[in-house]
Amino acid sequence: MTGVPHDILGVLRAIGRFVLGGLALVGRIVIFAGRAIGRAATPPYYPARLGEQLLVIGWFSLPVVGMTALFTGAALAQQIFIGGSRFNAAATVPAVTVIGIVRELGPVLGGLMVAGRVSSAMAAELGTMRVTEQIDALTTLRTDPFRYLIGPRVLAATLMMPLLVLVSNILGVLGGFILATTRLGFNAAGYLDRTVSFLRTDDVVSSLVKAAVFGFIIALMGCYHGFTSSGGAEGVGRATTNAVVSAFILILMSNLVITVIVFGG
Amino acid sequence: MSAKIALRGVAKRFGPKVVLDGVDLDVGAGESLVVIGGSGTGKSVLIKSILGLLRVDAGSIVVDGVEVTRLRGAALAAHQAKFGMLFQGGALFDSLSVWRNVAFALPRGRGAAKLKAAALDNLARVGLGADVADLRPSELSGGMQKRVALARAIAARPEIIFFDEPTTGLDPIMADVINDLIVSLVKDLRITALTITHDMASARKIADRIAMLYAGHIIWQGAREMIDTSGNAYVDQFVHGRAEGPIAMQVRSA
């Protein structure tokens, strides 16, 4: 009988440790983010590093983001057509496709794809630099690692994601358009007309705001987990996994928050 | 002679593991001090604490009369700018060419040609020619990487230079080449040097003075010539590399 209160205490203790550990982690990440923003905003700047990251994050993500949007837009149009025709609403395909793509699927799928590509690469690169003492070496070579490594990455990802999502939105709508006009019998001019007339400014703005937030999350998670990694090759592997998983979850969470704020009220 | 670097009661722990437990140590200006000690005795923690890469839990570290344990921001950066460091694995930036690595700490904005000339000059000091300048660090052998790292560490003419296990992983001949380079560079450039190593051949060659770190303390220090007559059982065991003695082998790493 004496074991029961003891077990309860043990459970409470475990919950307490978990909550405290979580809060401490959030605190560390917030401090890390604050430092990254502070250093990115003040000189000395490293324009060559920024340019490199703009290219790596923006340009080299275009194929994967573009293809994702194209295929998803087409599949979405097909599904809306099937679902809509059950209650004579098949004509809503252009409107629902453009809303679905611009408000949700363009930024979210784009964000997830870029997170898979970029967060993991950043975590692996910075993690390897940490393990091989290259980050300590920067400090002894009169260079602040936050300015040199992290500032350019966070800035580049936050700037490039809106552009990528813009492309993603256009290709997503294009995917729906191609499928609808070739297989579902829609008239091309009519489809485009309905698409454009249904789209509102705040749809686009919310899409791009989401994209910028996701870009920030992607770089922040990649940099944080890589920069703080320890324990050799295994540690770098763990950092890479944690970067991608945490970026995914934060993207989906912040997406819900932004959606509720912009469209829920 | 006042000390360039003075440590008093420096303590550092990681969780329950006490690594440094009251270290007192002085390094004179222009002196070459070698700290010897087994793996996991906190030698790296010691130099990272002096550099301000790690924050100590207690004690004082004074460099050029300035207490450095509480420095932050620009003052910390100014402190760190006095140092050059040769890392154990070289820590060369693998995304940059050899000459860009060497020129990394040099002031920018002088034009690439001048930077490259300065880099080549420093490479020549460590016995490397212009033919390696455009290679990537991964294309070099371990000994060559160490030399490039040495050129990078001296390029900005630091007042103080730290050598972290400079001969680890090198064959005996290349190790001696590195030792000779360190001796001549420190003498030519009048740099204060602090080396941590467990390679006694290297310690005997580089050091003016030797100190031994064990169990978080400096347990012995003296001139290089006295290392064989220290009368300290711990030092004797370490110097002669005996398995038997007062130092029990630690199985778990730091």
pLDDT at A6 over 80: no
pLDDT tens for A82-114 read 999 998 888 899 999 999 999 999 999 999 999
Chain B partners of A141 at a C-beta cutoff of 8 Å?
A: 104-105, 152, 156
At residue B254 the predicted structure's pLDDT band, cuts being 50, 70 and 90, is: very low
**B82, closest residue in chain A (CA to CA):** A140
Q: Are A143 and B105 within 8 A, CB to CB?
A: yes
Cβ of A132 within 8 Å of Cβ of B51? The answer is no
Which segment of A57-61, A166-170, A221-225, B227-231 scores lowest on mean pLDDT? B227-231
Residue at B179 is within a domain: no
- Which pLDDT does position A50 carry in this prediction? 94
Average pLDDT of A233-261?
96
Of the ranges A17-21, A32-36, A213-217, the best mean pLDDT one: A213-217
Tokens encoding A216: 């920030």
Look at chain B and report how many structural domains it folds into: 1
**Within an 8 Å CB–CB cutoff, is residue A139 touching chain B?**
yes
- List of chain A residues whose C-beta atoms are within 8 Å of the C-beta of residue B84: 140
Say which of A132, A136, A142 has its CB closest to residue B81.
Answer: A142
Residue with token string 């605190």? A27
- In this prediction, residue A43 carries a pLDDT of 86
Cα gap A128→B93, rounded to integer Å: 11
Strand order in the sheet with B3-14: B17-28, B3-14, B58-63, B66-67
Q: What is the mean pLDDT of residues A3-8?
A: 73
* Residue B56 structural domain: 1-74+199-254
| Residue type present at position B214 | Y
Query: Can you give the length of chain B in residues?
Result: 254
Torsion angle of C-alpha atoms A62, A68, A74, A80, degrees rounded to 10: -130
Concatenated DSSP letters of A223-244? HHHHHT--SHHHHHHHHHHHHH
Minimum-distance CB partner of A139 among B80, B89, B153 = B80
AA identity, residue A17: R
pLDDT at B250: 57
What pLDDT shows up at residue B72? 86
The pairing of beta strand B83-86 with beta strand B160-164: parallel
- Virtual CA dihedral for B111, B112, B114, B119, nearest 10 degrees? 140
Residue with tokens 């003498």: B187
Structure confidence at residue A241 (pLDDT): 96
- pLDDT-based confidence at residue B121 (cuts at 50, 70, 90): very high
Q: Which two tokens stand for residue A96?
A: 């629902």
According to DSSP H, which parts of A86-199 are helical? 93-99, 106-114, 120-131, 134-140, 145, 151-183, 188-198
The answer to whether A187 contacts chain B (CB < 8 Å) is no
Residue B214: beta bridge partners?
Answer: B217
- In the DSSP assignment, the letter for residue B227 is G
Asked if the model's pLDDT at residue A215 lies above 80, the reply is: yes
Query: Beta strand pairing status for B58-63 and B66-67?
Result: antiparallel
Binding-face residues of A in 195-214 toward B, CB within 8 A: none
Distance in angstroms (rounded) separating the CA atoms of residues A44 and A55: 21
Find the closest chain A residue to B164 by CA distance. Answer: A133
Per the DSSP assignment, residues forming a β-bridge with B209 are: B33, B223
Pairwise CA distance, residues B220 & B43, whole Å: 14
**Would residue B194 count as lying in a domain?**
no
Which residues from chain A sit within 8 angstroms of residue B104, using beta carbons?
Answer: 141, 143
Query: How close, in Å, is residue B228 to chain A by CA atoms?
Result: 34
Which stretches does DSSP call E strand in chain B? 3-14, 17-28, 32-36, 58-63, 66-67, 83-86, 160-164, 192-197, 209-214, 217-223
**Contact flag A142-B51 (C-beta cutoff 8 Å):** no
Q: Do A142 and B91 touch (CB under 8 A)?
A: no
Give the pLDDT confidence score for residue A191 in this predicted structure: 95
Q: Tell me the average pLDDT across B12-32.
A: 92
Asked if residue B191 belongs to a domain, the reply is no
Nearest to A140 among B51, B88, B92 (CB): B51
Out of B48, B53, B105, the one facing A141 most closely (by C-beta) is B105
Distance CA A72, CA A62 (A): 15
Is A163's pLDDT higher than 80?
yes
Q: Which of A106-110, B95-99, B108-112, B206-210 has the lowest mean pLDDT?
A: B108-112
Give percent above pLDDT 90 in chain B: 56
pLDDT in tens, B196-235: 998 999 999 999 999 999 988 899 999 999 988 888 888 9
One DSSP character per residue, B28-85 reads: ETT-EEEEE--TTSSHHHHHHHHHTSS--SEEEEEETTEE-TT--HHHHHHHHTTEEE
The pLDDT score that the predictor gives to residue A4 is 63
Residue A115 to chain B, least CA–CA distance (Å): 22
More confident residue, B190 or A181: A181
Are A217 and A254 within 8 A, CB to CB? yes
**Separation of alpha carbons B96 and B92, rounded Å:** 8
Dig out the tokens for A112 from the structure: 């997830």
In chain A, pLDDT over 90 holds for what percent of residues? 86
Look at residue A214 in the predicted model and tell me its pLDDT. Answer: 98
- Domain containing residue B45: CATH number: 3.40.50.300
pLDDT at A222 over 50: yes
Backbone φ and ψ for B117, nearest 5 degrees, come out as -60, -40
CB–CB contact A134 B80 (8 Å) = no
